[in-house]
Amino acid sequence: MVMKDVWDEREKAFENQYFRDVERKQIEAMKEKMHEGQIRELCKNRCPKCGEEIQASTFRGVPLDQCPSCGGIWLGPNDLKILAEKDHRTWFDNWFHAGENQG
């Protein structure tokens, strides 16, 4: 009778440990998710290089985002394609040759 109680108690302790572990993992996952959400919220519309708020701009009629601090430029998924198709030889060439002349 006493022996059985001891085993019951042990079993209960193991069970509690198990549920504690499950709970802890769920809480960790929740925290991770919240943290991820906060990071996304904080980085929204921010330059990934310097953290400055990026500003909407246009280049040859194509909308783009530019960082006023470091000059980084972000294009939407189709914008580079649109730009390249507009005058594929000139603007890319100009860009690269401008870089060469500076160097």
H or E segment at 98?
A: helix 90-102
Report the site for Zn ion in 50-69 (rule: CB under 5 A).
50, 52, 67, 69
d(CA 101, CA 72): 20
> How near is the Cβ of 64 to Zn ion at its closest, in Å?
14
Residue 62: closest CA among 88, 97, 86: 86
Tokens at 70, concatenated: 């470091």
Q: According to the binding rule CB under 5 A, does residue 29 interact with Zn ion?
A: no
Stretches 16-24, 55-63, 71-79, 83-91: which one binds Zn ion (CB under 5 A)? Answer: 71-79
**Which residues contact Zn ion (rule: CB under 5 A)?**
47, 49-50, 52, 67, 69-70, 72
